[in-house]
Amino acid sequence: MAVRILTEANRCLQCRKPMCQEGCPIHTPIPQVIREFKENRLMEAGKMLFDNNPMSVICSIVCDHEAQCTGHCVLNHKGAPVTFYNIERFVSDAYLDRMKIEQVEKKGKKVAVIGAGPAGLTAAIELARNGYDVTVFDDNNQIGGMLEYGIPDFRLPKTFITRYQHLMQRMGILFRPNTAFGEALTIRDLFRDGYASVFVATGVWRPKTLGIEGESLANVHFGISYLANPAAHKLGETVAIIGMGNVAMDVARTALRHGAQSVTLYARSKRVAASQAEVDYARLDGAEFAFGYAIQKITEEGPVFKVAVFDEDGKITGYEDEPLQVHADSTILAVSQAPKNKLLLTTEGLEPTDRGLLAIDENYMTSVPGVFAAGDVVHGSNTVVAAANDAKVAVQAMIRYMS
Ligand SMILES: Cc1cc2nc3c(=O)[nH]c(=O)nc-3n(C[C@H](O)[C@H](O)[C@H](O)COP(=O)(O)OP(=O)(O)OC[C@H]3O[C@@H](n4cnc5c(N)ncnc54)[C@H](O)[C@@H]3O)c2cc1C
Ligand code: SF4
């Protein structure tokens, strides 16, 4: 592995205007990292990556590389781009447990982070490195957010979450699990208890429904609820998945690993929202794809569809006369997520956007002074690297506010 990534590093042209870096949403200093790495300065390269993006090792695994860093490498023109993410994984993996925790001057101020996903963890690490006393709260018993409860283990081993837990401990970041804000505790309680500011990164954890008949039947599940604990669901042999986004791909691949014999993903048109890489993996795992199936209702037998008729250009020209009842032991709805509204209902003055997300100003502050927000709860379902980048920028605004 080390030798091959060295070959990969040697292929880097050290472009003066690195397109790979522009293609990376958090602008990882790719040429500099490669230089440090080639000169045998592994820890320096690791520090560069971590300082720029505390989620670096996770991103090296789960980013859509073809659309981001790798996809922008100039060597794409010659057919073989540098796969920087392999170098990033090696370096950041080595650095994560070995990094030295620098002693910083304490500010004497407490900050609360609600939500321990990539945005909350990035914010907590950045705030701690700037001398704030950070407490992270989460509704769940583990940190990680969708890294722990969404992305399947076969794509992102859960040991990474444990390693981040250790890192947080070493940095003196406190974690309070199983604490949902908007229930027994509210944001107002945090200000009462002396927190100088609050960072909200609660993500999108409410599955969107379709408003169709049958959604409450026992053979119907929501994609993110299924992924949070696949073993708790008895899906049977035949599984129908409604949706063709990345979550749907993870559901399909997980179901196939948990005993399903036949898994089909259904889309109403020919459009696939998932990245090509995820579609390819799902297909390799044995999932099937059906296009032009508009869901009407779900029965104990499975989903019922209106089946589209396509013209030669792939446009829908009409539907077949009779609806089609498909047999499936279980039907899983994976058609997107929205935020839960507990915080909005219990925080006076907290404003939503028209999509039910948290509204923020240009400084990432919500409509409540001192309460900042970032990540999926602000933008809707996005990516780990976007959440980390968002949190990084938001923390700078938060620090300006507190000082
Ligand atoms: C199945 C799946 C696969 C994905 N695959 C990829 C991928 O391959 N690559 C990629 O880049 N992105 C992927 N994503 C998207 C990515 O995981 C998210 O964009 C990212 O996790 C968002 O980070 P976040 O910190 O904003 O929110 P989250 O990760 O959702 O974390 C929010 C946290 O807030 C907590 N919380 C919620 N409400 C409360 C409350 N009221 N009180 C206290 N805590 C609360 C939750 O328990 C959770 O821990 C995937 C998402 C899913 C669902
Ligand atoms: S953070 Fe993601 S997009 Fe950026 S260099 Fe790393 S793997 Fe590529």
Each residue's pLDDT tens digit, 167-226 = 999 999 999 999 999 999 999 999 999 999 999 999 999 999 999 999 999 999 999 999
Confidence of residue 162 (pLDDT cuts 50, 70, 90): very high
146 lines ligand 1 (CB under 6 A): yes
Ligand nearest to the CA of 83: 2
Q: What is the mean pLDDT of residues 43-52?
A: 98
d(CA 277, ligand 1 centre) in Å: 20
| Residue with CA closest to ligand 1 atom 10 | 383
- Index of the ligand 2 atom closest to the CA of residue 20: 5
The span from the CA of 56 to the CA of 385, in Å, is 8
CA 79 to each of CA 13, 84, 281: distance values in angstroms, whole numbers, following the listed order: 14, 15, 21
d(CA 103, ligand 2 centre) in Å: 28
d(CA 126, ligand 2 centre) in Å: 19
Ligand nearest to the CA of 19: 2
Percent of the chain residues topping a pLDDT of 90: 98
Confidence of residue 327 (pLDDT cuts 50, 70, 90): very high
Per-residue model confidence as pLDDT tens digits over 4-16: 899 999 999 999 9
Token couple for 165:
């837990």
pLDDT for position 4: 87
| 387 pLDDT more than 80 | yes
| Residue with CA closest to ligand 1 atom 19 | 383
d(CA 64, ligand 1 centre) in Å: 16
| 19 pLDDT more than 70 | yes
| 337 pLDDT more than 70 | yes
> Are residues 84 and 69 in contact, defined by beta-carbon separation less than 8 angstroms?
yes
| 307 pLDDT more than 90 | yes
Q: What is the mean pLDDT of the chain?
A: 96
385 lines ligand 2 (CB under 6 A): yes
pLDDT for position 3: 60
Q: What is the mean pLDDT of residues 299-310?
A: 97
50 lines ligand 2 (CB under 6 A): no
pLDDT for position 205: 97
| Residue with CA closest to ligand 1 atom 4 | 151
Q: What is the mean pLDDT of residues 375-382?
A: 97
Residue 19 pairs with which residues in a beta bridge? none
**CB neighbour list of residue 169: distance below 8 Å, 6 or more residues apart:** none
pLDDT for position 93: 98
| 1 pLDDT more than 70 | no
Q: How far is CA 119 from the centre of its chain?
A: 9
84 lines ligand 2 (CB under 6 A): yes
Token couple for 320:
């077949």
pLDDT for position 29: 98
Per-residue model confidence as pLDDT tens digits over 221-263: 999 999 999 999 999 999 999 999 999 999 999 999 999 999 9
**CB neighbour list of residue 374: distance below 8 Å, 6 or more residues apart:** 119, 123, 199, 200, 201, 360, 364, 387, 390, 391, 393, 394
pLDDT for position 79: 84
62 lines ligand 1 (CB under 6 A): yes
User: Given ligand 1 and candidates 142, 151, 199, which is best to mutate, with the most ligand atoms within 8 Å of its CB?
Assistant: 151
Domains and CATH numbers, the chain: 2-98 (1.10.1060.10), 110-205+339-402 (3.50.50.60), 207-337 (3.50.50.60)
Ligand nearest to the CA of 228: 1
pLDDT for position 30: 98
| Residue with CA closest to ligand 2 atom 6 | 60
pLDDT for position 9: 96
pTM: 0.96
The span from the CA of 73 to the CA of 87, in Å, is 14
Token couple for 352:
């939503």
pLDDT for position 115: 98
| 50 pLDDT more than 80 | yes
Confidence of residue 113 (pLDDT cuts 50, 70, 90): very high
Ligand nearest to the CA of 71: 2
User: Given ligand 2 and candidates 50, 383, 385, 389, which is best to mutate, with the most ligand atoms within 8 Å of its CB?
Assistant: 385
| 2 pLDDT more than 70 | no
